[in-house]
Amino acid sequence: MKHVILFCLLLLQLHSDDNRTYKVGIYNNKPKIFIDNKNRPQGFFVDILEDIARSHDLKLEYIPCRWELCMDYLEQGKLDIMPDVAYSQERAQKFVFHKEIILTNFSILYAKESDKARSILALDKKRVALLKESIQLRELQELARLFDVSPLYIFAENFEEAFLLVKKGKADFAAVNRYFGTAYAQEYDLQETSILLNPSALKFAFSHAAASTQLLSIFDESIVKFKADPDSAYYAAKRRWLEPKERIVLPQWAEIALLFASVLLILLIIATFSFRYLLYKKIAEVQKEHSKNEMLQKEKIEEYKRMLLAMVTMIEQRDSYTAGHSQRVADYSKMIADEMGCSEKEITLLYEAGILHDIGKVATPDAILLKPDKLSTLEYEIIKGHAEAGYTILNAVPMFAEIAKIVYAHHERFDGSGYPLGLKGDEIPLLSRIMMVADAFDAITTNRIYKHKKSPLEAIKIIESLSGEEFHPDVVAAASRALCSVTPPEGVDQNPKSSIEEHRFAYYYKDPVTQLNNSKYLKIYLAKPLYELGYKSFVIISLHHFDAYNRKYGWERGNELLHEFARLLEELFKNELLFRIHANDFILLAQHDVDDGDLERLKRFSHAKELGCTVRQEKIESIQATTFEKQLGDSKLFTLL
């Protein structure tokens, strides 16, 4: 009897779930989600949600609310589902998210004049309009803390109000997502600045009360199915709401021509002789106008060329490695194309495409493009977008249409596993196939942070091993002949070339307690010819009894002591490289002779702090085959590393 009752209760619960109506929060964030002037839910996320609901017989009720109120309702269980929520660890504590990412997004700051803000430093004491409790606010607060600036935040109910505040002069900047900015910046006479906020993953969020395993599975399985089908509701919604619509604008000369045609028609009816006179006059005017338009078109093309070169220069200034890389890819592509018997026109076209093939990286945030460490999955997905961005930039002018096609396909693979379209074999344009090999050859024959360069012959062997998989066999054969005697330039790597790049590069390699360089950064230096760079000696400085100090005074006092010791090192050894490689071990790479008095001062400092201190100093010898590791022998430095 007991089992029968339990079974009935289970059936009753299942019946209740089937008839449940899910309350969905909706707020104004065009074009992703909003309520139109007929009070109907609209937008990218609404289209996807409606399709999932139809397919699985889910009942929905839309509840309009402001953004921050929607989030409060979801947390309180007054809402069941909230679309268009950027995932973060903090939000994952409050809500339940499904696994699959629907969109990746990043945010941009907009202003009346784009040159008002070239970096985050320009936001100090400036008014920034954004949504309360938004991902933009969290990212901007983090950047402000890192760069020690103090923006004045003005909270708006939606992105439209944020843009309106800037337009009316009540705010200096507006922080919005890129989809809204692309769609509406021109309408509000605003321009995007060069300040980008980090990418985020957009998903549906669920209240804990509504987030059943079955409901989450329905959403994840539906999204996976959507993304696998180019004709699904997902791609239809993307085309409808997120892709820019082409505007057909009638050229000025066409409007003038229509006006002239009307005048001529009236004159023809009035009098034949008047018509002849006016006809000749108008023909002359049209010819003059045509000549003027041709001149303007040529000037426009030249101006666009200058703009593209300026963009290339900007990329080079952001990343010095990319600068030489583009030129080398252009040269290698030209050599392979010549070996394959391409026409002079094709070779010229391919060379120009090689120079511009990475121009799409202008849309890649600095935090990703200039990151010296390995990229995350999300960061890699974003940087893959540079091929499509480059195509969009170049295809805007008809004369660059062919170059745009080459650039668009230069990351495809012969077996179809490339991007952005997944083309394979001969579907990939010939000149793109050539650039793919040239691009790979340069990457293999130049130093990367964690990968030493190969010789041209080694690079060709690697490329030959990928023939028929990544590269077209015909192109590989031609490259083997054309590039076998190439001499790659020396000194090409991803190491910093200026003091600015040095600081930016070392940002990823700072010890958080002492602000000295960490052991990762030391490993990079150990791969360099230190003696040739002018380094005379290295000094290993070890503090002893530090564990006892921490036990006696506590970890916070211990960190303060390490910070004080680091400042003393910087005072004594100005312009020298300092590293903290372990809890209480430090390394000094010195280009000048180390004064014994300075070393004694370190020992006195440590003794005054109830610590012991040992110092070991060794010369860096000028021996071709001698490595830093061999000089140290059984030193504990490499144990620490």
CATH code for position 143: 3.40.190.10
**Based on the domain organization, do 289 and 417 belong to the same domain?**
no
Per-residue pLDDT tens for 189-202?
998 887 877 778 88
Q: Which residues contact 528 (CB under 8 A, 6 or more apart)?
A: none
The reported pLDDT for the residue numbered 449 is 63
Specify if 29 maps to a domain: no
Whether residue 354 is found in the same domain as residue 433: yes
Give the pLDDT of residue 327.
86
Domain membership of residue 195 (yes or no) is yes
Q: Is 504 domain-assigned?
A: no
Print the domain residue range for 283: 252-294
Question: Contact 166/110 with Cβ under 8 angstroms?
Answer: yes
Helix, strand, coil percentages, rounded to 5, for the chain:
55, 15, 30
Q: What residues in the chain have per-residue pLDDT under 70?
A: 1-18, 114-118, 244-253, 255, 274-275, 305, 308-309, 311-312, 314-323, 370, 372-373, 449-451, 491-507, 528, 622-641
Same domain? For 328 and 477 the reply is: yes
585-590 and 537-544 strand pairing: antiparallel
Residues 125 and 198 in one domain: yes
Last residue of a domain, one of 202, 237, 271: 202
Q: Provide the number of structural domains found in the chain.
A: 4
CB 470 within 8 A of CB 415: yes
Q: Which pLDDT score is estimated for 349? A: 93
Classify each residue of 213-228 as buried b or exposed e, where b means 16 or more C-beta atoms within 10 Å of its C-beta: eebbebbeebbeebee
- Looking at the structure, do residues 285 and 338 belong to the same domain, yes or no? no
Torsion from C-alpha of 429, 432, 434, 440, nearest 10 degrees? -140
Residue pair 105/159 in contact by the 8 Å Cβ criterion: no
Contact 104, 200 (CB under 8 A): yes
Distance between alpha carbon 450 and the CA centroid of its chain, in Å? 21
**Pair (261, 397) in one structural domain:** no
Residues 476 and 514 in one domain: no
Task: Please report whether residue 94 resides in a domain.
Answer: no
Residues 263 and 343 in one domain: no
Give the tens place of pLDDT for each residue, 529-558: 777 778 888 899 999 998 899 999 999 999
The last residue of a domain, from among 202, 218, 239: 202
Per-residue tokens: 546: 């530090």
Does 226 fall in a domain?
no
In a domain, residue 259? The reply is yes
- The CATH number covering residue 352 comes to 1.10.3210.10
Are residues 367 and 470 located together in one domain of the fold?
A: yes
| Residue 73 in domain | no
375 and 478 both lie in a single domain: yes
Could you tell me the CATH number of the domain that includes residue 530?
A: 3.30.70.270
Domain limit, last residue, from 482, 497, 525: 482
